Structure 1
Amino acid sequence: MPDRIHSYVHLHLVSDATGETLIAVARAVAAQYASVRAIEHVYPLVRSQKQLERVITDIEDAPGIVLYTLIGAELSERLEKRCKEIGTPCVSVLAPVLGVFRSYLGTESTPRIGGQHVLNTEYFRRIDALNYTLLHDDGQMPEDLNEADVVLVGISRTSKTPTSIYLANRGIKTANIPVVPGIPLPPQLDEVTKPLIVGLIASPERIVQIRQNRLLSLNADDNTAYVDKSSVAAEIAFTRKLCARQGWPLIDVTRRSIEETAAAILAHYKEHANDA
């Protein structure tokens, strides 16, 4: 078959659960093709033939790549058969991994739709972490900082809040404290013994750009030290000195995604837990 070059590709993601696994896998792979735009069609909670037929109709209307996580053999077979008939690649994302488990363990799996979303202890730990994190955003409720697993400190626009929420989704209770020129940090921060404290910084150019966009969205005056490059550089220098003095790890988020920042924090957290 001759090579075909597409500027876009339709991705049909078919799941009998939430589809989160498929979305994560599809985006991880699609990111490797910078010149191709992936158009996602997500079909969660597909659990009947009637629902599947609607999906197949959409696939016929916009052929592309089909990825699926369907536990029921009947639905899987129907989807694969129809995709083969219309010449569309169709892949079960979990099948290769299930095969490795089956081979290694010497036993068959027990099919459970959405098995990773059961209401177990881990699930409720994540909910507890989210509740704590939302209540301790932007320096709120510092009196119980010692209950946190991680405390993030940094100047405005260093992605403290989204990083905190991402960590909370991993079951890590996370508080974040803003570093503001002329305003002392909460005294409770000097008294904590349990949490890992991590400083976040970014380049002055990046901070200024984000802050300018923020002011623009608020229709606010940008003639302020908040977006002055030298003032921002001074804030960053202060954060560096603070973290060095306290012995807190410091992470530059300039070129990091939230996920990459969180991964670096989790690596520090693992070391912190081992040393405790």
Structure 2
Amino acid sequence: MQKSTIVYVLSDSIGETGEQVAKAAISQFNSGRYETRRFPYITDEEQIVEILDEAKEERCMIVYTLVIDELRNFLEERAKKYNIPTVDLMTPILDALKQVVGFEPKREAGIIRKLDEKYFKKVEAVEFAVKYDDGKDTRGIKKADIVLLGISRTSKTPLSMYLAHKNLKVANVPLVPEIPPPDEIFEVDPQKIIGLTANPIKLNEIRQERLKTLGLSDNANYASIDRIIREIEYSESLMKRLGCPVIDVSNKAVEETAGIILEMTRHNSNINI
């Protein structure tokens, strides 16, 4: 019985690209038995030696995506010694790109995996911000990197989303004098809590516009100066009790406030950006 042809796929990352290319090539052959064996995260010569000691006994070839020159050269020399054909998928593309862009590639293993991890971390943070927006689920307070506290219209939601795009998990909690704050805010590090406050005149303008947008009268209690002052006094008293940092967002764009918060997090060892 004829032995299978084995395609060894070696990569300094997960090896998915090399395996897909190998399978695409194999699909062009109608006869014979073929097998792919993937070896990801190749980081040293010893791993290559072990793989080739196995491969030299097989009817095989090697497809690889190694970007580190030393490993690539070692593999080529060793495979040549055993008369094993090799296909380098990365070098021709890197060389062509180098001619176009005019500078050397980084030759750093696993870059695409790191980019993917960063992307998925951002997606996770955005989903977190949506799930724990406006105090909908107070369980998020203990899971969050940052907790935003503030009365209505102090930019809690847009700030949460902006910070989520910086890979931070943010929960935000609305403060209303008539509703006790959730117990969870007293159980987390106060340095993870950011209080948001604003000038009552500015809040009055914002709330009146909000009511108009909703088709409601701008004379509602929600937008009255007396009500707003009472809410601010209540929220600032609670923030003082918590001992958390407080930011006045009256004349700040969301990006500016977010920049202040990001700077604060860089000095807090309990928060990883």
The alignment's TM-score, normalised by the length of structure 1, stands at 0.56
C-alpha separation in 2, matches of 1:159 and 1:117: 34
Contact 2:249–2:257 (Cα < 8 Å) also in 1: yes
1:256 aligns with 2:252: yes
Partner of 2:163: 167
The structural deviation recorded for 1:239 is 1.6
State whether structure 2 residue 251 is matched by structure 1 residue 219. Answer: no
Pair 1:116–1:138, CA change in 2 (3 A): farther
Deviation at 1:230, TM superposition (A): 2.1
Q: Does 1:123 align with 2:116?
A: no
Looking at structure 1, the residues matched to 217 and 266 of structure 2 have their Cα atoms a distance apart, in angstroms, of: 43
- Name the aligned partner's letter for residue 125 of structure 2: A
Gaps in structure 2 of 5+ consecutive residues: 1-96
What's the secondary structure of 1:239's corresponding residue? helix
Which residue of the other structure, out of 242, 249, 252, is the alignment partner of 1:246? 242
Compute the displacement of 1:192 (Å): 2.5
Residue in 1 aligned with 2:142? Answer: 146
Between stretches 252-261 and 222-231, larger displacement belongs to 222-231
The corresponding residue for 2:49 is none
Conserved 8 A contact 1:146-1:194 = no
Structure 1 partner of 2:154: 158
Which blocks of at least 5 consecutive residues in structure 1 are unaligned?
1-70, 77-97, 99-106
Measure, in 2, the Cα distance between the counterparts of 1:178 and 1:250: 15
| Structure-to-structure mapping, 1:82-97, within 5 angstroms | none
Task: Quote how far apart the aligned CAs of 1:240 are.
Answer: 1.6
1:196 and 2:185 are equivalent in the alignment:
no
Distance 1:268 1:224 in 2: 37
Whether contact under 8 Å (1:152, 1:197) holds in the other structure is yes
The correspondence for 1:273, drawn from 264, 269, 272, is 269
Match of 2:84 in 1: none
Please say which structure displays the higher CA radius of gyration: 2
Distance between the aligned counterparts of 1:274 and 1:204, measured in 2?
33
Shift, 1:170, TM fit: 0.3
Counterparts in 2 of 1:73 and 1:118: CA distance versus 1, 3 Å: farther
The letter of the residue matching 1:264 is I
CA distance in 2, matches of 1:190, 1:214: 31
Number of equivalenced pairs: 173
What is the root-mean-square deviation of aligned Cα atoms in Å? Answer: 2.9
Native 8 Å contact 1:151 1:195 kept in 2: no
- Which aligned pairs between 1:14-163 and structure 2 lie closer than 5 A? 108-109=104-105, 119-163=115-159
Sequence identity (%): 38
2:190 and 2:122 map into 1 onto residues whose CA distance is 19
- TM value normalised by structure 2: 0.57
Equivalent residue of 1:273, what SS?
coil
